[in-house]
Amino acid sequence: SIDPTRLTARLDELGQIGAIPGTIGCARLALTDDDKAGRDLVRTWMEELGLDISIDGIGNVIATMPGFDPSLAPVMTGSHIDTVATGGRYDGNLGVLAGLEVIETVLAAGIELERPLAVGWFTDEEGARFPPDMLGSLVYVGGLPLEDALEIEDRDGAVVGDELDRIGYRGAAPTPGRVPHAFVELHIEQGPILEDEDITIGVVEGVQGISWTELTITGQSCHAGTTPMRLRHDPGYVAAAITTFVRDLTRELGGSQVATVGRLDLTPNLVNVVPSVATMTIDLRNTDEATLQEAEARFRAFVEQTAEREGVSVDSRTLARFEPVEFDPRVIDIVEQAAERTGQSSRRLPSGAGHDAQMFARVCPTAMIFTPSVNGISHNVTEYTEPADLEAGANVLLDVMLTLTSM
Amino acid sequence: SIDPTRLTARLDELGQIGAIPGTIGCARLALTDDDKAGRDLVRTWMEELGLDISIDGIGNVIATMPGFDPSLAPVMTGSHIDTVATGGRYDGNLGVLAGLEVIETVLAAGIELERPLAVGWFTDEEGARFPPDMLGSLVYVGGLPLEDALEIEDRDGAVVGDELDRIGYRGAAPTPGRVPHAFVELHIEQGPILEDEDITIGVVEGVQGISWTELTITGQSCHAGTTPMRLRHDPGYVAAAITTFVRDLTRELGGSQVATVGRLDLTPNLVNVVPSVATMTIDLRNTDEATLQEAEARFRAFVEQTAEREGVSVDSRTLARFEPVEFDPRVIDIVEQAAERTGQSSRRLPSGAGHDAQMFARVCPTAMIFTPSVNGISHNVTEYTEPADLEAGANVLLDVMLTLTSM
Ligand SMILES: NC(=O)NCCC(=O)O
Ligand SMILES: NC(=O)NCCC(=O)O
């Protein structure tokens, strides 16, 4: 069994970096100084265990047990250590530190393995700074050329490649990276289902489809007091109409459909000036690809028709688009059996969030393990998972990884 | 007659300060370095004319013809030289520089007057940085104690008093300031009516009521992918619903009712995070006080009911509230006669924008003169008024001010 005290102590120590005062949350947006500090800390822990560390061109860091025949592909686990701006200390971090804990436990116990274990963290999983989300793992599996990834800009014009150089994490290991024998990721659920049903382990069958769009809506700034309503071309109003439309759309489509306007900026953003420009993001998700496509089509039609009516122009950019992913049935079974073997209740469920594991599912047998989130809350400073659940999840991860070495 | 070349040259020179590259617009938000540079330039012009200059505690600058019996209250004109962030070079500036032009013309012609003429500019008329709008003239007429005005903060926490000290414009002249014999302000219309009807001079009968509210809506940030719609408390959605509601309200109330959401900020403003906080402003205006009150009441009821339904809390702050103002019938007549005397077409109309003159209407006989705005556009870098209209307006101002000296 893993050491739960060591695991939570490391989660807490990492959570101090970028800590948000007065909360248990933290902010370590990808490739910022705080992200670098978090990376340095976790790398120290990996080095202390004597693992082989490789850093690739997009800043993914993989630590592998040494001393195996180099032809043997590792059983890999991993996740991310970047967070959103109102992040918790578990999202991503748990998967990385539990992976480290599993390897430390196996090394300490002197267990003989058919193939090495590896734990990695992947750059900019959140996508909150540089779209798309899961950027590092996408590049790792060959889903996006490194050159393209290095040129992605954040909203202030900072570029991925420059930021990697700045924090010293543009490595030499090639991408696409080495294909693992199998991949499994432990993550907090970030949603309410496990807690609602009082279940400890989520056996993740797949990830819903993700569609991110950024709209830049251009109208005409004018005077809030003197301009009759009929003469206005107000991009802020159009953004508001889109926001309420996608909310209504989730009700009409039902099922797993969710829609979020997380980002909205008005220019010049002054009380008595009708805005000239509104920039907004729309996040649409569904477990079913056909329904997600319907949501996208209806969204696009509404944008077009509203823009036409209001006399504004719209520039649309896809920030991320991933189809729903189904994990490998064999690995799903192994997770389910591991939960049973370690005495934990479990249920199968889809993931509402995107995860690095969904990228690995393109290249090797993959699945995920969820632990409950108190109040189903994540991307919020109050994000929390009970220590007993962290321990249960890490022990299931240990069991799954050992089983996968001989799959 | 005034010298149109000198007037437009000064407008252009002042418009170079804070000029927005590639446009004819400029940005000189109140009490910024650019506002200081604009103030210094106009003060130099006033000094060159040998006028008596006084600066009061809120930074209003008044230049008065010298050599008169000090007991004679001046006929005053004036406006503002601060602009919004997407401002033009005429809004406010015209009223100040045309006033200067009138005084220079009278001095050069050696006309004997019964009482002095004065021209002033008033701090933070736009209210775009420090609410309320017309801050300087409000303090001048005693509508707000100086101590309170000096403590007003902008969105970044900068304070009026400190900013006045910083740019060297906290003066010693007392507030409330000296009551003028009469007040008249020349301003661009900033709306479409005069241009639509091909009329050169607007005889302004009054100013519509202004109601500015800032709402801080607090919900719960959570994950855009994992949080079912029914569990969300999304302040961004509530802000959008309010934005479309006030638009609908203008259609229902009809008449002069306008409504604008000019400012909206989401926290943390990230693509995959349901926001925790939305801050927004709502600008409601109507020429009729009873209807404006009805608009406010319906707005408040909608906010309350939507907040309750969505499970968010709302903090509401009044940034500005001014009832509709009616100008003095005698001064209105004098403006109308001056237009006729100088050979210009005119019509009576209300002002959609707030103006310093509406504050002076509280203490002395007051009215305003409008000149046309091309395409009715203002608070936009393309704001423009034809040179011939600027000249016509300044000549009407000259005629009105001379007439008022013996009213
Ligand atoms: N796990 C997680 O929060 N991923 C961020 C990507 C997303 O689902 O928006
Ligand atoms: N004239 C003018 O633009 N004043 C600004 C105050 C307002 O919002 O009406």
Structure tokens at B206: 């009054």
Rounded percentage of chain A residues whose pLDDT exceeds 90:
100
Do residue B133 and residue A191 have CB atoms under 8 angstroms apart? no
Amino acid at B346: S
What is the reported pLDDT for A147? 98
- Ligand 1 atom at minimal distance to the Cα of residue B224: 9
What is the reported pLDDT for B336? 98
- Ligand 2 atom at minimal distance to the Cα of residue B126: 5
Residue B197: CB atoms within 10 Å: 12
Whole-angstrom distance, CA of residue B190 vs CA of residue A227: 8
Residue of A nearest to B226 (CA): A352
Average pLDDT over residues A76-91: 96
- Tell me: the pLDDT tens digits for B229-238? 999 999 999 9
Average pLDDT over residues B30-57: 98
* C-alpha torsion A139→A143→A145→A151, nearest 10: -70
Total CB pairs under 8 A between chain A and B: 248
Phi, psi of A230 (to 5 degrees): -70, -15
Tell me the ligand closest to B135's alpha carbon: 2
Whole-angstrom distance, CA of residue B236 vs CA of residue B299: 17
Amino acid at A171: G
Chain A closest CA to B202's CA: distance in Å? Answer: 14
The pTM for the full model equals 0.93
The beta-strand segments (E) located in A135-276 are 182-188, 201-207, 209-218, 222-223, 258-260, 264-267, 273-274
- Asked if residue A262 lies in contact with residue B236, where contact means CB atoms within 8 angstroms, the answer is yes
What distance in angstroms lies between residue A375's CA and the mean position of ligand 2's atoms?
Answer: 47
**Residues 6+ away with beta carbon under 8 Å from B288:** B209, B255, B256, B324
The beta-strand segments (E) located in A220-302 are 222-223, 258-260, 264-267, 273-274, 277-286
Structure tokens at B99: 């006033």
Q: Which helix (H) or strand (E) holds B266?
A: strand B264-267
**Residues 6+ away with beta carbon under 8 Å from B63:** B46, B49, B51, B52, B53, B100, B103, B118, B119, B120
Average pLDDT over residues B360-387: 97
| Helix and strand numbers, DSSP H then E, in chain A | 12, 16
Whole-angstrom distance, CA of residue A7 vs CA of residue A407: 27
pLDDT confidence tier of residue B378, bands split at 50, 70 and 90: very high
- Asked if residue B199 lies in contact with residue B372, where contact means CB atoms within 8 angstroms, the answer is yes
* Max CA distance (Å), chain A: 79
A271 closest CB neighbour out of B128, B226, B269: B128
- Tell me: the pLDDT tens digits for A192-248? 999 999 999 999 999 999 999 999 999 999 999 999 999 999 999 999 999 999 999
Chain A closest CA to B261's CA: distance in Å? Answer: 7
What is the reported pLDDT for B164? 98
What is the reported pLDDT for A22? 94
pLDDT confidence tier of residue B350, bands split at 50, 70 and 90: very high
Whole-angstrom distance, CA of residue B314 vs CA of residue B301: 12
- Tell me: the pLDDT tens digits for A101-141? 999 999 999 999 999 999 999 999 999 999 999 999 999 99
- Asked if residue B303 lies in contact with residue B240, where contact means CB atoms within 8 angstroms, the answer is no
What distance in angstroms lies between residue A127's CA and the mean position of ligand 1's atoms?
Answer: 8
Of the candidates B185, B90, B184, B80, the one whose C-alpha atom is nearest the C-alpha of residue B130 is B80
Residue of B nearest to A274 (CA): B262
- Asked if residue B116 lies in contact with residue B62, where contact means CB atoms within 8 angstroms, the answer is no
Whole-angstrom distance, CA of residue A298 vs CA of residue A315: 17
pLDDT confidence tier of residue B106, bands split at 50, 70 and 90: very high
Residue of A nearest to B319 (CA): A271
Do residue B352 and residue A223 have CB atoms under 8 angstroms apart? yes
**Residues 6+ away with beta carbon under 8 Å from B31:** B59, B82, B123, B124, B129, B130, B158, B160, B163, B164, B166, B167, B169
Give a three-class secondary structure readout of B91-122: CCHHHHHHHHHHHHHHHHHCCCCCCCEEEEEC
- Tell me: the pLDDT tens digits for A273-294? 999 999 999 999 999 999 999 9
